[in-house]
Amino acid sequence: MIGGYDLISIAFYLAFIIGVGLTYARRSRNTSDYFRAGGTLPWWITGASTWMAGFSAWTFTGAAGKMFHNGAYTVLLYYAILLPLVVLVVFTGHRFRRMRVVTPFEGVRLRFGPGTQQFFTWARLPFLLVFGGITLNSVGVFMAAVLEADTSLVIVLLGGSVTLLAMLGGSFGVVASDFVQMFLVVLVTLIVAVLALNQPDIGGISGLIEKAPAAHKDWSLFSRPQFVGLWFFALILTKLFEENSIDKSAKFLMARSDRDARLSLVIPLVGMALGPLMWLVPPTVAAIRHGDDIGRVFGTLKFPEEGAFVLTAIEVLPNGMLGLLLCGIFAATLTSMDAGLNQGAGIFVRNFFLPVLSPNCPERRLLWVSKVATGAFGAIMVVCACAWESLRNVQLFDLMTQVAISVGLPMSIPLFLGLFWKRTPSWAAWSTVVIGLAVSFMVRMWFRPEMCGWIPGLEGPFLEEERTTFFIFAGALLVGGICCSWFFGSRLFYTGKDEDYVKRHDEFFARQQAPCAQPLEEELARGTMIGRSIGRLCLTYGAFVTGLVLIPNSLSGRLCFVLCGGVMVLAGSLIWYSCRERASRGSDDSTP
């Protein structure tokens, strides 16, 4: 299934990631540098990192499995984020930057007080670690099946690489690796899609549509339009609160100005509009070619359809490029995991260790504690990943969606509404979360689709997909409605007598009204320096990929390596040259 040339690509990739961590190990002078790159990054760096953090290997495993069965229906999950991203551009992205804090939960402290800060710290931190473990497990189990290797060994190797990058490089290493890996993911998956469409038995886009299984074209075979519409609305509602809540502000805190914070969303908007169409092709080709026989290929996977994307890649990619695809799949996971590790350490150090355990801790020691915390949390993620495989009994697609609504939505609602509505008591946020979690639990335990039988179009009997989506939209609508009502209702109890709370509260909203000052020359120089180093990283990785043209392949196969590596070399050259020119003339231009 995988050859020696693919192993060379994987080995180089792991060495490259560790090298990135070592490259940026000395860049962080304090915790502001370590957790938010000092707030000095131009929009194109934070934009690439934001987009890469928005998806993981789940896109190529769990989502691919859903696409294998249901086709473009799954794409709605990605398109649900487009409206929330527009809201970020217009209303909230620049507000996050204006908080002028190092970590998101320091913004929570300003808005709601230290008690609420501690509540969210200990509610969010375990969630980050466990969710990171689940993500690592998904890619580890999948890659172990493809590599025909021991699952635990693969999980430890991948988790160790992620931890080293985040621990050594901090936020600088995270965003730099994200930018290079964005090219790797896009280019290799684009090549897989194009080669798959050009197969004689597929016949291009028209042939793909014509030959796709019936369920891909007729969604009523697995779900009625009413259920599809409610499910899509629930996804939009969930993403609206999640993407615009204070705890999702980490990437925007890295931007060097209000303008850069807004512009950083250009890449995620374009990526989420076009990327799903590219990711849809390989699983659909696998469904056309293999159907129910896919279980014979990936017999070691609990859900063999989650290997649909890679199965098509195995059949169409030239010799040696499968390893690059596996690196790209891991890159998608690494991005969300290293960002999670960096944020998790920031939550612990800046929101618990500093204010509670050691208020007078000097920055040098605090930076050392941050690196130790990152390493410890990485180890916890690896343990969670190894333990999760024995517990998982649902498909990744449904699992991720259910967890996001059951846990993520109640935590996001008050941290979004709190950006705009002022007169609420200090307990409004944490009490809203408690109410939301209770409602989520009630929906899962006591609600059944039959309870909606009196609504036209939602009566039984129910298909399996309809039962799954019922819990998603019922949870989103009930949790969203009750949490919003509770948060707004808490305004009735606002008295303004707590002077400390009112002082912090007023400072938070005063910052929201004050645009960030133009970056200083030193900050501009640091951003340019990071840009030049990213250009060199693109050149390095692009040169390696181009060198793989020496692998024995047909002319078209060799051209795939030339295309992939050449684009990375070209992008790296342009970035490096542009940043060098700006440095020489002291330009304030933020576009590479």
**Shared-domain flag, residues 80 and 181:** yes
Half-sphere exposure of 364 (CA within 13 A, CB side): 0
Q: What do you get for the CA distance between the two ends of the chain, in Å?
A: 40
SS (H, E, C) 124-148: HHHHHHHHHHHHHHHHHHHHHHHHC
CA-based angle 482:486:488, to the nearest 5? Answer: 120
**Which uninterrupted H or E stretch holds 82?**
helix 82-87
**Distance (Å, whole) CA 181 – CA 185:** 6
**Shared-domain flag, residues 546 and 510:** no
**Shared-domain flag, residues 440 and 564:** no
CA-based angle 112:115:120, to the nearest 5? Answer: 80
Whether 524 is covered by a domain: the verdict is: no
Whether 59 is covered by a domain: the verdict is: yes
CATH number, position 326: 1.20.1730.10
**Nearest CA among 136, 135, 179 for reference residue 20:** 179
**Shared-domain flag, residues 124 and 190:** yes
**Distance (Å, whole) CA 203 – CA 40:** 48
Whether 39 is covered by a domain: the verdict is: no
The whole-number pLDDT of residue 273 equals: 92
Q: How would DSSP label each residue in 195-243? A: HHHTSTTT-HHHHHHHHS-HHHH-GGGT--HHHHHHHHHHHHHHHHHHH
Q: What's the one-letter identity of residue 68?
A: F
Whether 409 is covered by a domain: the verdict is: yes
- Which one-letter DSSP state was computed for residue 72? G
The whole-number pLDDT of residue 161 equals: 82
**Nearest CA among 254, 360, 366 for reference residue 30:** 366
**Shared-domain flag, residues 463 and 395:** yes
> Structural domain tally of the chain?
2
- Would you tell me how many other CB atoms lie within 10 Å of the CB of residue 249? 27
Whether 37 is covered by a domain: the verdict is: no
What pTM did the predictor assign? 0.86
Q: How would DSSP label each residue in 341-395? A: HHHHHHHHIIIIIIIII-TT--HHHHHHHHHHHHHHHHHHHHHHHHHHTTT--S-
**Shared-domain flag, residues 496 and 542:** no
Q: Average pLDDT by consecutive 10-residue portion of the chain (592 residues)?
A: 83 88 82 84 89 78 88 92 94 92 89 90 80 78 77 85 82 85 90 94 92 91 91 92 90 90 93 92 93 74 82 91 86 73 83 85 88 89 77 53 68 93 91 91 82 77 86 88 95 86 90 81 74 91 94 93 94 89 59 50
Whether 511 is covered by a domain: the verdict is: yes
The residue segments making up the domain with residue 426 are: 4-31+44-517
Whether 299 is covered by a domain: the verdict is: yes
Q: Is 26 helix (H, G, I), strand (E, B) or coil?
A: coil
Whether 36 is covered by a domain: the verdict is: no
| Secondary structure percentages of the chain, helix, strand, coil, to 5 | 80, 0, 20
**Shared-domain flag, residues 66 and 92:** yes
